Amino acid sequence: MRSFSRLLSVLFAALFLYGCAGVGTAAVLESIREAPGDGAYIEAVPFFPDHTRMCGPSVLASLTGFYKSQKGAGSYESIAKAIYFEKLGGTLSMDMLIYARESGFEATLYSGGLDDLKEKLKAGRPLILFINLGLDIYPVGHYIVAVGYSESKKAVIARSGVDKDKVFGYAELKRAWKKTGYSTIYITPAVPVATPDGKAD
């Protein structure tokens, strides 16, 4: 009975923690502010909170919204209507690529990694990461937009679900990201435009 109660409490704690958000966010952001050379944070990336299964449209709207001077970038609703696949209860990464290209962006899917992620973030370019929060045999695909990282805290900050600045430890992120082969979507305007941070694309 005691063992059973202990197991139940562990599971309820897991459920509770699952709902929690932003653990350590302030500390990570603080570390980036204190030592800008030790990390990066792209604050101007818009956030579209999602508590359903719309993480695909949500992250794509964040990216297209970031390059808002780009013509053809649709609203969150129009993106959701175009790429959310009701039958699958989610969004296919290939639909995100196709939609982005048809909207005037250059979009590439590739096998990325932490080094590439840091390099892009340093250059002021947010990336969409496709991670698997489930198991290999029971995948739970989830899209996040990486917007920052802190080398000292060994953490990545991302727009994820209902969290504007969700913190993923390097190890935690790698575990989930590895299951999708480090799937990364890089979207930039086909025609160079100035990003909100003033950097020309």
Partner 1 sequence: MRAFFLVGKQVYYFFAIVQTVKNGGNFMNWVKSWYFRQIALVVALAVFCITAIPAESLAYVVGSDPQVATGAVISGDRATDMERVQRTLESKIVSKRLTELGLSKDEVNTRLKSLTDADLHQFASQLDSLNPGGGLVSGLGAILIIVLLVLILLKMMDRKIIIK
Ranges within 182-201 binding partner 1 (CB under 8 A): 183
Is 122 a binding residue for partner 1 by CB under 8 A? The answer is no
Residue placing its CB nearer to partner 1 in the complex, 32 or 167: 167
Ranges within 35-94 binding partner 1 (CB under 8 A): 51-56, 84-85, 87-94
Is 106 a binding residue for partner 1 by CB under 8 A? The answer is no
3-state secondary structure the chain: CHHHHHHHHHHHHHHHHHHCCCCCHHHHHHHHHHCHHHEEECCCCCCCCCCCCCHHHHHHHHHHHHCCCCCCCCCHHHHHHHHEECCCCEECHHHHHHHHHHCCEEEEEEECCHHHHHHHHHCCCCEEEEEECCCCCCCCEEEEEEEEEECCCCEEEEEECCEEEEEEEHHHHHHHHHCCCCEEEEEEECCCCECCCCCEC
Considering only 69, 75, 111, 152, the residue that binds partner 1 (CB under 8 A) is 111
Residue placing its CB nearer to partner 1 in the complex, 29 or 157: 157
Q: Which stretch binds partner 1 (CB under 8 A): 11-19, 30-38, 66-74, 117-125?
A: 11-19
Ranges within 153-172 binding partner 1 (CB under 8 A): 161
Residue type for position 10: V
Q: Closest approach of Cβ 130 to partner 1, in Å?
A: 6
Q: Which residues lie near partner 1 (CB under 8 A)?
A: 3-4, 6-8, 11, 14-15, 18, 51-56, 84-85, 87-95, 97-98, 101, 108-111, 130, 132-134, 138-143, 161, 179-181, 183
